[in-house]
Structure 1
């Protein structure tokens, strides 16, 4: 039986090889999905998605191309094309990644909070300034996608459901805390003000020439929470004695 050297499709594309390797390429294609190669393939895709986030931050949506992403990643254009085929597919998967990362971040924070709505609200607010997701590149990438969402239904589909879930949970936490305080009003409106305050602070961090610190950003959001729930919040965050 002939022994074919292992050559991945990505490597063939990287070298620009056509050559006589028809059988080699066929064998490589069959092996790219095999177990030992799967992790490597997923890792490479993750690397390209991170490079896309950086490229969006540096060049904006319109000037983000497969070639620019390849340059940022230090990889060949052919390899990017092999994994994602088109700019639209790459951007759609990048948005999906960001949406899933964001959801995983706030749900983990909420799961780790004490069983009191004030602690849960504090956890959700702090999650938005987790250094893992609150980076200049990620904020700029989110802003780029927000700017395109109205004209691209695919993007709305990608993160719309997750965004709606976040809003429902935030409204529920606000409603529970209002019941604890025995106060009337619209938890939907309170949640909306808190949410747009977070988004406004994100825009500040991304767009200001000399942005304030992440701690100051969080203090700004906590000050907003204090306006609605003064028994539970101050600029420094949760008033632990009240929980």
Structure 2
């Protein structure tokens, strides 16, 4: 008899988690293609290549499926920028650059994920779901960005409100995400990143004004 790792989940649990993740990824794809209001459990099941009943078994309702999808995307985004900061040097310029790079990481800015974010942002009926799933982690990101901007202001002697600077940078990132999805001829992530870096140079020219 082979020994088993008591810390590992049993195969049935692994299969269940894999199926749920399959449905969540299909939901992201469906949201990007059809929007919030037109995303249905039937469409998600069709995209995932599974039965409508199996989607119901795992998530029960459309609202629960959308909530868990948004919770997954929010955690993925949070883990991405946290990991980028952990690898960055301690100085604030490097940390801000790490946050900007994280916002345009290929895994985060796929057309499906950007489209799904736009779907959640664009529908009034999704706001309660968004606030519940994203509110605390959005606040954590804003606080981190403000702290970095405050350190840059102190280091460079800039006459800019660090809270406003952080808000500008956040809005420029979100705006370029929207442009990458909604413009008739969208620009690529590299151009979006350049746009955000230009706003960083305007706020903190001594740190980002060269090139």
Distance in structure 2 (CA, Å) of the matches to 1:113 and 1:225: 17
Aligned equivalent of 1:180: 155
Instruction: Give the 3-state SS of the residue equivalent to 2:108 in structure 1.
Output: coil
- Equivalent position to 1:113, from 88, 92, 95: 88
Residues 1:92 and 1:162: Cα distance change in structure 2 (over 3 Å): same
Which residue matches 1:16? Answer: none
Q: Which ranges in structure 2 are unaligned for 5 or more consecutive residues?
A: 1-8
1:45 aligns to 2:23 (yes or no): no
**What is aligned with 1:7?**
none
Counterpart in 1 of 2:74? 99
Residues 87-137 of structure 1: per-residue CA shift (max 9 Å, x gap):
011000000001000000111111111110000000001111000011111
Q: 1:173 to 1:191 in 2, by over 3 A?
A: same
Which residue matches 2:36?
61
1:174–1:152 CA distance, 2 compared to 1 (3 A): closer
Q: Which has the larger radius of gyration?
A: 1
Using structure 2 for the length normalisation, give the TM-score: 0.92
| Aligned equivalents of 1:67, 1:136: Cα separation in 2 | 22
Higher relative contact order (CA 8 A, sep 6+): 2
> Quick one: distance in 2 between partners of 1:121 and 1:233?
10
Unaligned runs of 5+ in 1: 1-33, 237-243
Q: In 1, distance between residues paired with 2:23 and 2:126?
A: 25
Alignment of 1:226 with 2:207, yes or no, is no
Structure 1: distance between partners of 2:73 and 2:56: 21
Matched, 1:165 2:136: no
**CA positional deviation for 1:153:** 2.1
Query: Which residue of structure 2 lines up, in the alignment, with residue 12 of structure 1?
Result: none
Q: Is the 8 A contact 1:219 1:235 kept in 2?
A: no
Partner of 2:52: 77
Following TM superposition, by how much is the alpha carbon of 1:138 offset from its aligned partner in structure 2, in angstroms? 0.7
The question of whether the paired residues in 1 share the 8 Å contact of 2:172 and 2:199 is answered with yes
Q: CA RMSD in A?
A: 1.5
Runs of at least 4 residues off by over 3 Å? 148-152
Larger mean CA deviation between 56-65 and 140-149 belongs to 140-149
Instruction: Go from structure 1 to structure 2 and tell me whether the alpha carbon gap of 1:150 and 1:194 turns closer, same or farther (over 3 Å shift).
Output: farther
Count how many residue pairs are aligned between Structure 1 and Structure 2. 203
Shift of residue 36 of structure 1? 2.1
